[in-house]
Amino acid sequence: MDGRALAERIRGEVAADVAALGRVGLATVLVGDDPASDLYIRRKHEASREVGIEARDHRLPAETSQQELLRFVDELNHDDAVDGLLVQLPLPPQIDEAVVIRAVEPVKDVDGLHPVNAGQLYLGRAGHVGATPLGVMALLGEYRVPLEGARAVVVGRSDIVGKPVALLLLAANATVTVCHSRTVELGARTREADVLVVAAGRAGLVAREDVRDGAVVVDVGMNRTPDGLRGDVDPAVSERAALMTPVPGGVGPMTIALLLQNAVRAARYRRGLLAYPGG
């Protein structure tokens, strides 16, 4: 499954949407200078510029207090030029991430992490949903992978990837199993999957023998190893899978494209062009 090609098409659609809306504003906040976060933020801004989104890159020092960050988030909440707002995670240890996530105005929360958005997804009336889970679903949709009644297995239960992916698959009428670090006999579970989504952050966790012939495999993992960027799934799995995403070039580019689409959605919600379910 070619994430680069689909992401490029989505970016083209987003550019047309931005032009039709007149302007779309996205603000990102990075606290500290974590090199991986810095790279993600730069990619998000590059992609925003390409589609005409007005993106503001706010950088705060690593020693910023929780109070200072909350005050800053509040300013952006009240700034009419900001449609979408995201605070890059992880945050430094003096800051409680859950408190900051709750401080972001839900209608601007393009990462879909605010309890209102997470709750709406749980209730089956989704508002903002994170870009990575949406990217996984968009790839499955693009390749017309049948989900209704399918056995879907998700490895990973993070709030950012595993849980929202599981809820989206459930909403698409798949029969969903969620695996995690305490799962006994992980391989036996993954072998049951018609559709397998792996987001564990462990290079090569899923081996060739852990997947059945003809399965569809989405590898969300992005692991920096001495041999370069590696997914959570052994590339040899592609010999058995009917479809599989490569790393890089699979879910990664989709995440950026769907973030841009989420910024457009935030602008539509805020202008009353689309009903916001969490309002």
Closer to ligand NDP by CB, 162 or 277: give it.
162
Residues in region 209-228 near ligand NDP by CB under 6 A: 220-223
- Of 78 and 182, which CB lies nearer to ligand NDP in the complex structure? 182
3-state helix, strand, coil in the chain (%, to 5): 45, 15, 40
114 or 157: CB nearest ligand NDP: 157
Residues 6+ apart with CB under 8 A from 115: 101, 102
Nearest to 259 by CA among 43, 73, 91: 43
| Shortest reach from residue 250's CB to ligand NDP, in Å | 7
Neighbours of 248 (CB within 10 A): 15
Select from 76, 155, 215, 244 the one that contacts ligand NDP (CB under 6 A): 155
Q: Which pair of structure tokens corresponds to residue 211?
A: 């997947």
- Residue whose CB is less far from ligand NDP, 107 or 186: 186
Rounded CA-CA distance 158/48 in Å is 26
For ligand NDP, the closer of residues 120 and 245 by Cβ is 245
The 3 state secondary structure assigned to 143-162 is: CCCCCCCCEEEEECCCCCCH
Q: How far is the CB of 37 from ligand NDP (least distance, A)?
A: 12
Residue 44 annotated to the active site: yes
Question: Which tokens sit at 149?
Answer: 């009644």
The stretch near ligand NDP (CB under 6 A) out of 4-12, 58-66, 175-183, 237-245 is 175-183
The piece of 21-29, 77-85, 146-154, 178-186 that touches ligand NDP (CB under 6 A) is 178-186
> Which tokens go with 110?
């393009």
Catalytic residue (choose from 17, 83, 109, 111):
111
- Shortest gap between Cβ of 43 and ligand NDP (angstroms)? 10
Q: Does 193 bind ligand NDP (CB under 6 A)?
A: no
Among 152, 205, 241, 267, binds ligand NDP (CB under 6 A): 205
Residue 206: helix, strand or coil by DSSP?
A: strand
Window 244-263: residues binding ligand NDP (CB under 6 A): 251-252, 255
- Report the residue from 67, 144, 182, 275 that binds ligand NDP according to the rule CB under 6 A: 182
Which range in 56-64, 93-101, 159-167, 168-176 contacts ligand NDP by CB under 6 A?
159-167
Instruction: Choose which of 53, 121, 154, 179 interacts with ligand NDP (CB under 6 A).
Output: 179
The answer to whether residue 120 is catalytic is no
The CB-of-15 to ligand NDP minimum distance in angstroms stands at 21
Q: Is 7 in the site for ligand NDP (CB under 6 A)?
A: no
Phi-psi region of 249 (alpha: psi -120 to 50; beta: other; left: phi over 0): left
DSSP, residue by residue, 59-127? EE-TT--HHHHHHHHHHHHT-TT-SEEEEPSSPPTTS-HHHHHHHS-GGGBTT--SHHHHHHHHTT--S
Per-residue tokens: 2: 């070619």
Tell me the two tokens of residue 120: 């709406």
**What amino acid positions are annotated as catalytic residues?**
44, 88, 111
